[in-house]
Structure 1
Amino acid sequence: MPYNNEYRGGRVAKRRAPQRDRDNDRPRNNKRPERNNDKQIDKQTVAPLGDFVIGRHPAVEALKSTEQTINKVWLQDGIHSDAISEVLALAKERGLVVQNAPKSKLDELSDGQNHQGVVLSIAAFEYAELDDLFAKAAAKDEAPFFLILDSIEDPHNLGSIMRTADAAGAHGIIIPKRRAVQLTATVAKTSTGAIEHVPVVRVTNLVNTVKELKERGLWIFGTDMNGTDYRRWDATGPVALIIGNEGRGVAPLLKQNVDEMLTIPMIGHVQSLNASVAASLLIYQGFNSRHKL
């Protein structure tokens, strides 16, 4: 089940992102600074170092979160809508600085992404600890259901997987610190707010983490071209599901530590699925077995 920017299998991982280094105090290419209502945007009004949440829905989720530190709210001049009104109300509730700015300034902060007139300057995303995932499952009185992402490289795949994980009630994601996408503004936007609700753990060695999870009572399932039909997967009890890299699938050493491999049968001409699509099918099979009709 290989996947060109697509999917084979893997293990799940979890979340939060590195700081992004921007120096907005100095205009680039000797150009004059942007102006807002004929007033120069000086260094007091420039977004501080950190990362950004882009788009209306992700911004609302971030503003509602009690765990996310927000430095400033940037709004595009002349934008009015119910969503913008909600952003303003939530920002006022939290006593945050709201800065109106031209579209060009928000385009710069968001690297040209579709910001919908809203950008939040935030502290770098914080990553959770492995114990936090167990605590979340215990708080819900549920058996742990974790995702292990083995070197997922596309931020859109990570964001989509987080969105599905939140919808299906997964307790967290585990990701490697190296050779994999981390929590970024693109991941946050793609997750449409799920990044605020799904804890992400970064670990140095996935194999060692899997061994620890097994010692703590979890059954580990991976994905491969050869394995048990995923529709037979019974995910009741404490489990972790590994989703592999888009091109290489699950690493060989990880496969050696899996209790059972799962496969998604395909009868069409294209024998591959996008990583986030394959992950969604598997995650919801886990949901189905844990929440019977």
Structure 2
Amino acid sequence: MAAGGRASGRPAKKKGPSKGTGGQKRRSLEGKGATPPAEMRHWYKDKARAERIAREEQGGARRSAPTKQRRSEDAPEFIGGRNPVLEALQAGVPSNALYVAQRIDNDDRVRDSIKIATERGIALLEATREKLDRLTEGGVHQGIALQIPAYDYAHPSELVELAHDAAEIPLIVALDSVTDPRNLGAIARSATAFGAHGLLIPSRRSAGVTGGAWKTSAGTLASLRVARAANLTAALREYRDAGLFVIGLDGAGETDIGDVQLLSEPAVIVVGSEGKGLSRLVREHCDVLARIPMRAAAESLNAGVAAGVALYEVARHRRL
């Protein structure tokens, strides 16, 4: 017998699969699936670069479409842009701080803004452009932004008192479902230009005095009071009880705005949204529904433009 206990000249018996292998040998012969693309292979030389580009693209998408969080009512607002900031400072808009971008290209507007802010004791703060993007919520700021405190709204009755104190015929502009702050700012400009004593807005489903409204108003909101009512129709009833006539602008009105005889009387001009116009309840609380005559090609006017036309007619009637 040979060493190791094996009989000489006899071939060794081949050992078969042991119990419990689960067919590993058979699976080892099966295919591994489709060949992965090059960028998914761990040895791919440009994999890190491709991943970096993908992260940058995702980050850019997030920056271009940020998730808008609900702003607290007492949170400060920001006005961005060189002309709007300078106009706000020149108009004496209450301000907390002036943010200026690092290494900004100075011009007369920037220098004048810094000078006025310094004279008024407004804090001057240097900020990165990324921070200015966040503060202005992606708006155009041109490297400069003005922080203003939350607006202190008046009570609706205060607007009538302002007119009486000035010994003038009351003129108030009420906004019904106007949700764009730019429209509110544009209406504020027209209201100031034609002698209105204030704006009335509802607390809900309405634009407020935000940075966008300040920007569009070109500083006129600093001299025009804005009142806010929990219930717009209730406020209109109180105005009627106080002797004011409520005139609603409506495309279906039966009288042209220029022919309304009540424009020389104490009045509230109610402006609705461009799309839906006046709500049913507001229409029911109007003394007169007036239309602005226009060609058929234009179905409606922007709320800011409509308010400007109506206020011009009021001013024209009161000069007669």
Q: TM-score, normalised by structure 1?
A: 0.77
Judged with a 3 Å threshold, the aligned counterparts in structure 2 of structure 1 residues 134 and 66 are, in CA distance, closer, same or farther, namely farther
Once residues 97 and 205 of structure 2 are traced to their aligned partners in structure 1, the CA distance between those partners, rounded to angstroms, is: 31
Once residues 170 and 132 of structure 2 are traced to their aligned partners in structure 1, the CA distance between those partners, rounded to angstroms, is: 40
State the partner residue of 1:15.
none
> Is 1:57–1:193's contact at 8 Å kept on the other side of the alignment?
no
Give the 3-state SS of the residue equivalent to 1:266 in structure 2.
coil
Task: Give the one of 246, 265, 273 matched to 2:274.
Answer: 246
> Is 2:88–2:218's contact at 8 Å kept on the other side of the alignment?
no
1:157 CA displacement: 1.5
Listed as ranges, the matches of 1:5-16 within 5 Å are: none
Indicate the percent of aligned positions where both proteins have the same amino acid: 35
1:284 CA displacement: 1.0
Bigger share in helix: 2
State the partner residue of 2:104.
78
State the partner residue of 1:270.
298
State the partner residue of 2:183.
157
Listed as ranges, the matches of 1:116-127 within 5 Å are: 116-127=142-153
State the partner residue of 1:280.
308
Listed as ranges, the matches of 1:126-205 within 5 Å are: 126-205=152-231
Once residues 54 and 199 of structure 1 are traced to their aligned partners in structure 2, the CA distance between those partners, rounded to angstroms, is: 22
What amino acid sits opposite 1:165 in the alignment?
A: A
Once residues 67 and 136 of structure 1 are traced to their aligned partners in structure 2, the CA distance between those partners, rounded to angstroms, is: 20
Task: Give the one of 117, 130, 135 matched to 1:104.
Answer: 130
State the partner residue of 2:254.
227
> Is 2:247–2:270's contact at 8 Å kept on the other side of the alignment?
yes
> Is 1:233–1:285's contact at 8 Å kept on the other side of the alignment?
no
Give the 3-state SS of the residue equivalent to 2:253 in structure 1.
strand
1:100 CA displacement: 2.4
- Superposed CA deviations along residues 32-54 of structure 1, whole A, max 9, x for unmatched, are xxxxxxxxxxxxxxxx9521122
1:178 CA displacement: 0.7
Higher RCO (CA 8 Å, separation ≥ 6 residues): 1
State the partner residue of 1:217.
243
Answer yes or no: is 1:92 the counterpart of 2:128: no
What amino acid sits opposite 1:84 in the alignment?
A: V
Once residues 109 and 203 of structure 1 are traced to their aligned partners in structure 2, the CA distance between those partners, rounded to angstroms, is: 28
1:181 CA displacement: 1.6
Once residues 262 and 205 of structure 1 are traced to their aligned partners in structure 2, the CA distance between those partners, rounded to angstroms, is: 23
1:110 CA displacement: 1.1
> Is 1:222–1:260's contact at 8 Å kept on the other side of the alignment?
yes
Higher Cα radius of gyration: 2
Once residues 308 and 129 of structure 2 are traced to their aligned partners in structure 1, the CA distance between those partners, rounded to angstroms, is: 35
> Is 1:146–1:171's contact at 8 Å kept on the other side of the alignment?
yes
Once residues 137 and 115 of structure 1 are traced to their aligned partners in structure 2, the CA distance between those partners, rounded to angstroms, is: 37
